[in-house]
Amino acid sequence: MNPIQYEFDHILIRYGELGIKGKNIRKFLVKLQENIQHQLHDFQGVKVRATRGRLFVLLNGQAPEPIMEKLENVFGIKSLSLAVKTENDPEQIKDAALQALLYGRVEGTFKVDVKRTNKGFPVRSQDMNQVLGAHLLQNTEHFTVDLHHPDIHMKVEIRDDATYITTDARKGLGGLPVGTSGKSLLLLSGGIDSPVAGYLAMKRGVSLEAIHFHSPPYTSERAKQKVIDLAEKLTAFGHDIKIHLVPFTELQQEIFKQIPDYYAMTAMRRVMLRISEQICRKRGILSMTTGESLGQVASQTMDSMHVINAVTSYPIIRPLVAMDKEEIIEIAEKIDTYPISIRPYEDCCTIFVPKSPKTKPRLDKMEYFESQADFSELIKSAIENAETISARQIKQEKDELADLF
């Protein structure tokens, strides 16, 4: 009888933080499974299956590498490995382990770790370590054991349904599955910081919509496209992102006309938050996310943030508040938003910049200046004329157009 030929035809997914969610774990796992299925919807025949403590992707003939790359963008995954599956039979496990060791290799050092969650399996984990180690040494010529720094760390999980063998592990993004922590409105400017803030909010399970203020003709169509491209990049880590594009020209001109120059920037930010809050109410969104980093610019001093924040009772998530610029750029490069963010197109926050913006504004003064002006009709008009688009739909249209040529 020919020996069974084993293949790396599964991907074993480990989740970290989800494991401590107690009675709520099922809700988190269902969402993680949905998000994985969503990421892999283009791969025909691929199945996702949940078992106690693990998720498995059944490749069903699909090449593993493109699927692994997609899974590396899913929040909630601690690590993932290609796996060989075999029955809970000691002889079959030995055969499968040997084939897994020799998969694409002829020499090296190894270590075996057996984990037996199936307590009915007749051999204890420590004993199985020795059985497998001896079998691998006896049936190969150029492999040796190294318990401290092995080239190959073989993990053998003996579970209720089957045994899974892996020989490497890739790190996942960690965090919580997108969609388990509610939705937030990301104030997306087109700069380096706000996309990173959106990414980090998603890492904590937040799904996003985005709002962008644009001021044509002072800001160009290319500046608007830049924001759409940034949102499109973020969709790779979760679901579609709706972008609310708010025309801001008239409001911005009026603010700079009616508010003293050194308080205009603070007033502009307060108006942005007022509009954002109304969009939140309209869309059933419970918080806002910004790319503010304490002390980075005049609007991000403690005093400025206090005065700007005073117009809303909504929670504001500020994932970057304690980061310096280098740390933010490092993440922007990692998630590939940096090359888009540095495109040289002005946004509404970089035009009409006051010569000496107030870094320690006072709330009473700000409220006094605002009481001498009335922006309510312009705010109403800006919201009514906002355009809402889908980042994913725009990408699909672009892809379809590209296919025509």
Residue list for the binding site for ATP: 187-188, 212-213, 269, 291, 300
User: What is the token pair recorded at 218?
Assistant: 């002072």
- What is the rounded CA–CA span in Å between residue 116 and residue 125? 6
Bridge partners (DSSP) of residue 48 are 57
| Closest among 276, 188, 273 to 233, alpha carbons compared | 188
Q: H or E segment at 25?
A: helix 25-39
User: What is the token pair recorded at 98?
Assistant: 């040997």
**φ, ψ dihedrals at 404, nearest 5°:** -75, -20
User: What is the token pair recorded at 135?
Assistant: 């079998």
- What is the rounded CA–CA span in Å between residue 92 and residue 111? 19
Bridge partners (DSSP) of residue 113 are 155
Q: H or E segment at 215?
A: none
- What is the rounded CA–CA span in Å between residue 208 and residue 370? 31
The most distant pair of C-alpha atoms in the chain lies apart, rounded to whole Å, by 92
Sign of the dihedral defined by the CA atoms of residues 18, 21, 24, 25, in that order: positive
- What is the rounded CA–CA span in Å between residue 328 and residue 334? 10
Sheet holding 207-214, edge to edge: 316-317, 287-289, 183-187, 207-214, 242-247, 387-390
Binding residues, by number, are 187-188, 212-213, 269, 291, 300
Q: Torsion-angle region of residue 243: left (phi > 0), alpha (psi -120 to 50) or beta?
A: beta
